Amino acid sequence: MLVNPARVEALCQEIGEDGFPEVLEMFLSESAQVVARLQGATDPVAIAADLHFLKGSALTMGLDDLAAYCLQAEQGGRFDPAVLADLFARSRAALEGMDR
């Protein structure tokens, strides 16, 4: 599931409807930077740290597929920066397109 609407709703209840746009903007900005950094990354320790950060952020925002991909890559599964970038772009579009 690209976006878990129940998690997004729970997050909105936790931070308030007025706070959600700010949290969304911060998530998208920080996550986009991480995804861009991972496109050329070669250091396994830095890659694992970035994947861990992205996984946690994705879970917070209800992006289950993105979090699952980061988890499997973080645990030694195949990591393809292009696949990550595509999944992030689709997740971002789905999240931004939600009726809020």
pLDDT digits (tens, 9 = 90+) for 61-92: 999 999 999 999 999 999 999 999 999 999 99
Q: Which residues of 40-62 are buried (b: 16+ CB within 10 A; e: fewer)?
A: ebeeeeebbebbeebbebbbebb
Residue range 52-56: mean pLDDT, rounded: 98
> Running DSSP on this structure, what letter comes out for residue 19?
T
The distance from CA 31 to its chain's CA centroid, rounded to whole angstroms, is: 6
Contacts of 83 (CB under 8 A, 6+ apart): 69
pLDDT digits (tens, 9 = 90+) for 3-38: 999 999 999 999 998 999 999 999 999 999 999 999
Provide the pLDDT for residue 17.
Answer: 87
3-state SS, residue 23 = helix
- When pLDDT is cut at 50, 70 and 90, the band that residue 100 belongs to is low
Q: Which residues contact 77 (CB under 8 A, 6 or more apart)?
A: none
Per-residue pLDDT averaged across 39-65, rounded? 97
